[in-house]
Structure formats: structure tokens, C-alpha cells
Amino acid sequence: MVVKGLDLRRTATVDGLRRRSRELRVWSSSHSAAPPIGCTPSTSQPIVRKEPVAMTDVIVVGGSYAGLAAAMQLGRARRTVLVVDAGQRRNRVVSRAHGVLGFDGESPAVIAAKGKHQVLEYPSVHWLDGAATAARSVAGGFAVSVGGQEHFAKRLILATGVVDEIPSIPGFPERWGKTIFHCPYCDGYELERGRLGVLGAGPVAQHYAAIVSEWSSREGTTLFLNDGVAPSTGELAELTSRGIHVESASVLEAKDGASGMELVVRGGRQYGLAAVFVLPQTRLPGAFAQQLGCEIESGPTGSVYKTDPRTKETTVKGVYAAGDAGLALHSVTFAMADGARAGTSAHQSLVFGEEP
């Protein structure tokens, strides 16, 4: 292998080369190229490349589970990849991830770190710490702006995740990911069939409450409408048949309680609960949809990129979306699978010369 005119086979062992390669490829967002072999990065004299020597095959925006899964498929295909990551993994406040085959109960941060390490073992995959702030179409591909510099690729995968809009109820933000959750499949089992609350109103919330009640004891689930639309007579009968109690008053506060937490509602009533489940509204970070012209569609809790479910390609040719940003079903496992699909699809579009 030759890097900047040096034959590395003569100067390093294979293991040493891999370690040095990782050091070179994990580079800050203020630089557009790695430093020369043997040189120490200088903050006073950054290396700035105004024009790219050649296009990367694929840029992946987002280095969490979907982005890592996409990058791994492409790295294994020996395609050049740049992963741009702002460090805003959606489940960063959660202490344990559950329902992830091979990693059940592991820290989400550990899973992500191990994934990053494995992906960067592939020498064609590079990593850039920083926030992608803009994207545009250019001749033969796309340009992505990071830290005031543009990076170019033939294909673009948007694995940005989504941003949760946590209800503005006192006590909710600090309990998010601890005793307030959104995924019963991820966090329900550990609650040991304790009393559970569901916050929301309307048909989606009623459907959600029926699912959540599977992790509670009989008669142990309460649907908190929070002054929302009341169920119809038929809907109320369905909820009652499942042992779900309905509380219509507004929720005033969440606080610590003997069984885990308490919800206080208007009128002073207090509910001791093991946890509360919420379907928060979500939004796509950044303005990539508008900048690139990608169509978005409404999911149960917010907008996602409209994609072909077989390929994960958006309505803009050459742009793919994966994970929570392109899928209404949100979990680590779903994100990994979606990212792998996007990565293989982007690779095959390069193989068969499908121009964006």
C-alpha cells in the first residue's frame, strides 16, 4: 500500500499500519485531509483542500447504528466511505439497550463504540467528527458541508436519526430514558409488570396503550389523555376490556415515587407508576430535505424521508435514508437492518453505473 509516496510495506508491520490508518482516518471536522505520515496535526496550520482530488464513493451523514451498518457494507465492498458524525446519538441518555441480539442489556454507548471500531478496521472507511450543515447536488454526485468545508461523493446516505420533542411537563425531560420511555419492546420487560402509564390521546395512543399493557399487570395500565380527545363509547369499552384505566385530566408533574415515579394530575390525584411510555413527536434534524429536494412523509409521530422500502433510496436519485430518519419503526435493531439495506443498495447503484 502506498500513501503520499511512501511504501508502507517497508516501514510498518500490518498491525502497526492498521493502528496508524485508524489514527489518520479519525480526523476532526476542521480538516479535509489526513496529516502526512509521521506528522503531528497542527491547529495553527490546518490542511485545507479547496478542490477534491477525487470523489469519495459514499458519504454517510450520521455515525450511529444505521450509519455504521451502512458504512460496514460499503467498506466490505472496498468502496471509499466518509462517515460524518455530530455525536448526537438518539439513545445517548439510556443506560442499557435491550432486545439487540448479541448485545442484550449492553450500554448503547458501548455498542456504538464497538461498531465504530469494527467499521474503521476497513481501510477505505474514514471518519469525520462534526455536524453536516448543508448538502447539495453537484455534477456526478453530492457535496456535504462540514465545518465550513465541502466534501464530495457519488452517493449520499442520510442516517441522521430524529430529534425527540419531549412533552413540556415538569419532571419529564430529566426522566427521559430512565423512567419515561417510548419503546416497550426495548424497556418494558425490566419493569417487572409494574403499574404503567401511557401519555397521549386519539386512536394512535389507544393502540399504543393496548400494546404497552402487555408489560403491565392486569388492570395495571392507565392512559393519561392530558386534556386530549376522549375515547368514544366503543373505544372506551375496548380499553376497559383490556384492563386499561383512562385519566382525562391534564398531567401537572412527574416526580420520584416509591414504585419508580409518580404522575400528578389536575385535581391533586397522584398515580404511583413503574414508568410512563410516550410517543413523542419527532423531527428530522437539518434542512437536507429542502436542500436536496427529497420528499418527506408523515409517520405516526413525525416526518421521515420518503424512501423505496426495497432500496432505501429517497425521491432524489443517489440519496438514501436509513434508520429512524427513514423508517417509522424505531429501535437499534431496526436501525441496523435499515442501514445495511441502504449501504448495499448504494453499492449496487455504483456497480451498475446508475448516475444520480
Average pLDDT over residues 148-171: 96
pLDDT for 292: 98
pLDDT for 5: 39
* Same domain (yes/no): 57, 125: yes
With a pLDDT cut of 70, the percent of the chain lying above it is 84
Q: What is the pLDDT of residues 206-249, one digit of tens each?
A: 999 999 999 999 899 999 999 999 999 999 999 999 999 999 99
Single residue among 248, 279, 310 that ends a domain in this structure: 279
For 35, which DSSP code? P
Cβ distance 178 to 91 under 8 Å?
no
pTM: 0.84
> Is 99 a residue whose pLDDT tops 70?
yes
Integer Rg of the chain from CA: 23
* Same domain (yes/no): 71, 155: yes
CATH number at residue 264: 3.50.50.60
C-alpha–C-alpha distance, residues 261 and 243, integer Å = 21
* Same domain (yes/no): 55, 158: yes
The residue written with cell numbers 425527540 in the block is 164
Asked if residue 267 is part of any domain, the answer here is yes
The structural domain count of the chain equals 2
**Greater confidence, 307 or 6?**
307
Please give the residue range of the domain that contains residue 265: 167-279
Measured distance between the N- and C-terminal CA atoms of the chain, rounded to whole angstroms: 31
The SS3 of residue 182 is coil
pLDDT for 202: 87
* Same domain (yes/no): 158, 286: yes
* Same domain (yes/no): 134, 186: no
Asked if residue 265 is part of any domain, the answer here is yes
pLDDT for 57: 98
Asked if residue 332 is part of any domain, the answer here is yes
> Among 7-11, 43-47, 121-125, 141-145, whose mean pLDDT is lowest?
7-11
* Same domain (yes/no): 148, 287: yes
* Same domain (yes/no): 130, 77: yes
Single residue among 223, 250, 279 that ends a domain in this structure: 279
**H-helix or E-strand spanning residue 315:** none
Asked if residue 196 is part of any domain, the answer here is yes
The torsion angle over the Cα atoms of residues 168, 173, 178 and 181, rounded to 10 degrees, is 40
* Same domain (yes/no): 240, 294: no
* Same domain (yes/no): 259, 326: no
* Same domain (yes/no): 107, 155: yes
Counting other chains too, the contacts that 34-39 makes at CB distance below 8 Å and 24 or more residues apart are: 34/126, 36/4, 37/3, 37/4, 37/6, 37/8
Average pLDDT over residues 338-356: 93
Single residue among 225, 251, 279 that ends a domain in this structure: 279
* Same domain (yes/no): 201, 227: yes
Burial (0-12, 13-18, 19+ Cβ within 10 Å), 53: exposed
C-alpha–C-alpha distance, residues 198 and 58, integer Å = 41
Asked if residue 30 is part of any domain, the answer here is no
> Among 34-38, 57-61, 66-70, 136-140, whose mean pLDDT is lowest?
34-38
Whose CA is closest to 202, among 240, 163, 166, 228?
A: 228
Cβ distance 97 to 106 under 8 Å?
yes
Asked if residue 75 is part of any domain, the answer here is yes
Asked if residue 173 is part of any domain, the answer here is yes
Whose CA is closest to 204, among 285, 295, 302?
A: 302
Q: How confident is the model at residue 326 (pLDDT cuts 50, 70, 90)?
A: very high
* Same domain (yes/no): 152, 81: yes
Asked if residue 290 is part of any domain, the answer here is yes
Burial (0-12, 13-18, 19+ Cβ within 10 Å), 82: buried
